[in-house]
Structure 1
Amino acid sequence: MMSPLLVSVALFMLVAFSIGGLLLVAVFPRLEAGKRTQGRMNSVAGVQNKASERVTGLTDDQRRRRSVEETIREIEETQRAKNRRHNKPTLVTRMRQGGLSWSRNAYFLFCAIAGIAGFIVGTLLIGLSLLPALGFAVALGLLVPHLYVGQRRKRRFKRFSNEFANAIDVIVRGIKAGLPLVDCLKVISTEAQEPVKSEFRQVVEDQTFGMPLSEAVARLPERVPVPEANFFAIVIAVQAKTGGSLSEALGNLSRVLRERKKMDGKIKAMSQEAKSSAAIIGSLPFVVGGLVGFVSPDYIKLLFTTSTGHMVMFGCAFWMFVGIMVMRKMINFDF
């Protein structure tokens, strides 16, 4: 029979390893995505540098094309510098991106409430001793607010991407009708749906306070770091420096955004079978455990009444979570 102290230490170590695994699963994909993005941008910049060195005897059309390429390269270099300085958004930035008006103290209060709730659940419902209950409370206090803010950010970015193409169409129609770009942005800031409405209102306010329009739009991807906002900022910056038909450029951007949305729908349809299989596999242990508890409750109650059973449940829950995260990584596609 294992001593209570040894069981408590083992449970605490298991909770600590679980927290480390959760943090690794949450942080590692972001680091890998950043490395892939940096590699693609470096390769594009290298190709453009080599091409510019071979260009001689430029015509007007070639000169304008080269000016556009140089402008895009400058924008990419600026974005890389910003990414190096702000590789990971701060806590306040993440909450603002999620549409939350919390302060830092409010977030920490939420963490404390989640931790207290975890301690109560661990001691009263699960029956843990003091040390494992503290580990369980720390895990919930750190993870629950972080996951909640991350889910809010993801949901808000998705709503922005779905509505952004319609906003671009409004700008295109307004420019073709003879309206200035600023007036088109004002129409979106009052008539569009959230969160596009509030983000374009911020752009209009920045421009009203004296900031150049291209710089005001360039701040949009910082608040909403999605590819659609980045594309829009690049188009506005290129048009401001090189000229050209803004309605045609934004029309092409609108088509690209809608094609990306169609591609996203096709990817979801193709991966739906794998997601259904993953859901079935993930739910099987709970279904089998419930059936065994219904047929033979004395056989399965050892998991809930003994310290060894608690260790087995924690270990199974941890490895199930790892397996679900691996399956999620396999069936989610980035494009």
Structure 2
Amino acid sequence: MLFILAGILGFITIAGLGFAFAGGDSDAAKATKRAQLIAGGGERQAAVRAKAAANTPDARRQSILKALKDQERKQKKATLSIGSRMQAAGLAPNVKAFWIVSGVLGVFVALMIVVMGQSPLVALGAGFAAGAGLPRWVLGFLAKGRTTKFTESFADAVDIIVRGIKSGLPVHDCLKIIGKECPEPLAGEFRTLTENVAMGVPMDAALEKMYERMPTNELRFFAIVLAIQQKTGGNLAEALGNLSTVLRARKLMKEKIKALSAEAVASAFIIGCLPPGVVTLLTVMSPAYMKPMFTDPRGHMMILAGSCLMAMGIFVMRKMINFKF
């Protein structure tokens, strides 16, 4: 009995010494360790949940909406830039030369008005309109025509990519086919795209440069689809096929709206051209009758007021008949 008691006491003594030298976790330390374990597990679970949530349709939809908003801001900035308009028109982006030509044209028109015997105020207004307005209008007209040609053939280009992918061709080869077979300016833009990609430029960066040269909604959708497919994966042929369907539906809707608004457009055009046309005819048929309008200061004020009112009316009518797609 004494031997057993001595053994128990020896065990307790050795255990106490080991605990004293080795140390033990306090309740606070144990609680801290448990909290760290729980937090670590929570972080891992949160990461797993975030990754799973990123693959949901709502998350992809939010990603697409964010990309669309970013592209819309870039498009607005590009639309206001003279260099971007010149690129969209197929011209070299030489902004300095554009302003030089505008200034020379404005001075030439002003001098012609002065030589014709008009007042310096009228010459100044005509020179400003010719220098600041006419070149911009011509540039916008060229850019709009080239952009329209690009948009009309873009759905066919997307179909070429879809058929090429389904037949086993890489995307880069499909882009080369578009550069060879499609009409201009679509072929030229895609040739530039394939050349940039061949030189080592990433596809998203090459599409961004292409969008700067041709800021259209169709190209923006195409770039977003490729960017999301590269990040999340999936069936690219199916995604581009759906995009082609959407683009053709947009084109059909555009033509339908154009047909429905043709009467309003014609009315706005006639109303806008009628006052200047009447003034021109009266000046040609009866110069003596219209001479006070161009020589008397009161006639100058009437011309100025009429021009301002006409500009406001044309602006309002343009807003009424201009539809964005």
TM range (shorter): 0.7 to 0.9
1:124 aligns with 2:111: no
Q: Does 1:262 align with 2:269?
A: no
What is the aligned partner in structure 2 of residue 215 from structure 1? 205
Identity %: 42
Report deviation, 1:57.
7.6
Q: Which residue does 1:241 correspond to in 2?
A: 231
Q: Which is bigger in relative contact order (C-alpha 8 A, separation at least 6)?
A: 1
1:74-153 mapped onto 2 (5 Å cutoff): 75-76=67-68, 79=71, 82=74, 86=77, 89-101=80-92, 103-125=94-116, 127-153=117-143
1:123 Cα deviation after fit: 1.0
User: Any idea what the Cα deviations from partners look like across 1:62-94, whole Å, max 9, x if unmatched?
Assistant: 94536634653563475477579x466533232
Q: Return the TM-score normalized by structure 2.
A: 0.74
Contact 1:98 1:156 in 2 (8 A): yes
CA contact (8 A) 1:117 1:137 kept: yes
Root-mean-square deviation (Å): 3.1
The Cα shift of 1:143 comes to: 1.8
For residue 229 of structure 1, report the CA deviation from its aligned partner: 0.5
Q: Distance in 1 between matches of 2:124 and 2:55?
A: 66
Q: Return the alpha-carbon distance in structure 1 between the equivalents of residues 261 and 131 of structure 2.
A: 33
Report Cα offsets for 1:160-185 as digits up to 9, x if no partner. 11111111111111112211110000
* Cα gap change, 1:112 to 1:309, in 2 (>3 Å): same
The offset of 1:223, in angstroms, is 2.4
**1:72 corresponding residue in structure 2:** 64
The answer on whether the counterparts of 2:79 and 2:85 sit within 8 Å (CA) in structure 1 is: no
Q: SS at the partner of 1:158? A: helix
- Pick closer, same or farther for the CA change 1:89–1:308 going to 2, 3 Å: closer
Q: 1:316 aligns with which of 306, 312, 324?
A: 306
Aligned residues: 278
Structure 1 gaps, min length 5: 1-55
Distance in 2, Cα, partners of 1:292 & 1:132: 19
In structure 2, what residue type is equivalent to 1:99? G
Contact 2:88 2:214 in 1 (8 A): yes
Tell which deviates more after alignment, 297-306 or 263-272.
297-306
Bigger shift: residues 297-306 or 255-264 = 297-306
Instruction: Give the gaps of 5 or more residues in structure 2.
Output: 1-47
State the secondary structure of the residue aligned to 2:234: coil
CA contact (8 A) 1:71 1:241 kept: no
Q: Residue 169 and residue 87 in structure 1: after superposition, are their counterparts in 2 closer, same or farther (change >3 A)?
A: closer
TM norm structure 1: 0.72
Checking the alignment, whether the CA contact within 8 Å between 1:217 and 1:236 is kept in structure 2 is: no
